[in-house]
Amino acid sequence: MHHRAFVRVAVTLAAASLLITACGSRGGDNSQGGGSSEKVAKIGVIAPTSGDLSAIGLGIRDSVDLAVKQANQKKLIPGWKLQVSAEDDQANPDVGKNAATSLANDAGVVAVVGSLNSSVAQSVQPVLASAHVLMVSPANTNPSLTQGANFETSKQRPYDNYFRVCTTDAIQGPFAARYVYNKLKLKRVATINDKKTYGQGLAKAFEGEFKKLGGTIVSSQTINPDDKSFSAVISKVKPAKPQLVYYGGEYPQSGPLTVQMHQNGLNVPLMGGDGMYAADYITLAGKEAPGNYATSIGSPLNKLPAAQQYVKDYKAAGYKGDNSSYGAYAYDSATAIINALKDSLKNAKDAKSAREATVKAMGNVEFDGISGHVAFDQYGDTTNKVLTVYQVKGKDWTDVNTEEFK
């Protein structure tokens, strides 16, 4: 064939190909191309994938990715392909709000997993609610997110599109207080919190239950979230002679706080909540880490057979994030959304038109997840109230007490 003739044929074929492609994709962006008739629905993720909390944020994002990939492999929603659309909130409420706006404006997004931080959730909730986008958190623990600002006296659900698979600080704080008072037999405790929504709420809940049990809060102090030096707050706590310091905050501060407590002669255990329960805490605290405590939601993953398979699958996929804290809850959050989508996408013409139906379907979702039984009450809170106390032994967190809070 002469070169000139070859060019003419090639151009003709290319034009025909473009015509076929154009005809095949008519009707919007939901076609996958390549002859596939599958429509696309996106599950957004809002989590800190950069900055101090990025290890946990990546664990959340990648766990959602794993759940979505497995759902697609099993073709759990006939005629639909699920995709993940992840946004980095940098653990910053303003950045989180922008991330939520971006996802809400994407017509393919039908639901969101997130966020890690309760303070970020406060700015994300109204944005997603106004767009009728379902939000399921694997990690938010502040009670006001589901029960309103006056939850202590009058519970009222602020947003019906918001659910969470983790239990709240109203349970986690008292759970820790009971362990300290009843199991460790300690009666004098100091508290420190980082002034953030999560830290303040957790410390307040701990203090209330500890005093109710008969214990004494000998000192109640605060730090700034970006503080590096804690000598000033330690100098206020040390004279009160606490037997333990309870910290409301996250591991980027609790690690150095542990080290500086020992450097300044405050040689008592530090205890925190799920924000402290991370492998990076042990790295940051170094040789001072052993003996300190943290509580976290649910049972230990190594005690749950379904979770053990998840851990294997996560590792086999080559993900690098720290999934030890919230990975299982992120996976279950995504699974809960997928279960709701089985109903809401059944007769939907596109993802956006299924948003409200997805929110409605979530209220009836119930299954045995890898973190335990997943179901929701009238506020969107999990009905699973199992928590665990961990202690650093050697170079690892070791579970020392698991109970259902009653």
Half-sphere exposure of 248 (CA within 13 A, CB side): 32
* Predicted confidence (pLDDT) per residue in 8-28, tens digit: 433 343 434 333 333 333 333
318: left (phi over 0), alpha (psi -120 to 50) or beta: left
Report the topology of domain 39-167+303-375. Rossmann fold (3.40.50)
Residue 347 has pLDDT above 50, yes or no: yes
Point out the least confidently predicted range of 231-240, 243-252, 295-304, 369-378. 295-304
**Given a cut of 90, is residue 29 above it in pLDDT?**
no
Give me the pLDDT at residue 301, please. Answer: 85
Percent of the chain scoring above 70 in pLDDT: 91
pLDDT for position 304: 85
Split at pLDDT 50, 70, 90, the class of 33 is very low
3-state secondary structure of 144: helix
Residue 332 has pLDDT above 70, yes or no: yes
Q: Which has the closest alpha carbon to 82: 98, 100, 69?
A: 69
Does residue 210 contact residue 177 with C-beta atoms inside 8 Å?
A: yes
pLDDT at residue 79 in the model: 96
Range in 12-16, 181-185, 241-245, 332-336 with the lowest mean pLDDT: 12-16
* DSSP assigned state of 394: T
Whether residue 32 is predicted with pLDDT greater than 50 in this model: the reply is no
Indicate the pLDDT class of residue 302, thresholds 50, 70 and 90: confident
Report whether pLDDT(237) > 70.
yes
The SS3 call for residue 126 is helix
> Are both 39-167+303-375 and 170-297+388-404 of the same fold?
yes
Higher-scoring residue by pLDDT: 14, 114: 114
Whether the per-residue pLDDT at 324 is higher than 70: the answer is: yes
pLDDT digits (tens, 9 = 90+) for 170-226: 999 999 999 999 999 999 999 999 999 999 999 999 999 999 999 999 999 999 999
Q: How far is CA 296 from CA 85, 105, 293, in A?
A: 27, 34, 10
All residues at 6 or more sequence positions from 106 whose CB lies less than 8 Å from its CB, including other chains = 42, 44, 85
Nearest C-alpha neighbor of 197 from the set 117, 138, 123: 117
Identify the residue with better confidence: 32 or 161. 161
Q: Which neighbouring-strand residues pair with 114?
A: 46
Q: How far apart are CA 276 and CA 253, in angstroms?
A: 9
Q: What is the tens place of the pLDDT at every residue in 43-76?
A: 999 999 999 999 999 999 999 999 999 999 999 9
Tokens of 201: 């709420």
For the chain, the C-alpha Rg in angstroms (whole number) is: 24
Residue spans of the domains in the chain: they are 39-167+303-375, 170-297+388-404
**2: which DSSP letter?**
-
CATH of 170-297+388-404, one of 3.40.50.2300, 2.60.40.10, 3.60.21.10, 3.30.420.40: 3.40.50.2300
Question: Is 275:203 a contact under the CB 8 Å cutoff?
Answer: no
Q: Which residues contact 22 (CB under 8 A, 6 or more apart)?
A: none
Q: What's the mean pLDDT in 101-121?
A: 98
Q: List pLDDT tens digits, range 269-282.
A: 999 999 999 999 99
pLDDT for the residue numbered 36: 60
Mean pLDDT of 92-103: 98
Confidence (pLDDT) at 155: 95
| 3-state class percentages of the chain: helix first, strand second, coil last, to nearest 5 | 45, 20, 35
Least confident of 17-21, 77-81, 139-143, 402-406: 17-21
Confidence (pLDDT) at 399: 97
Q: Please state the pTM of the whole predicted model.
A: 0.85
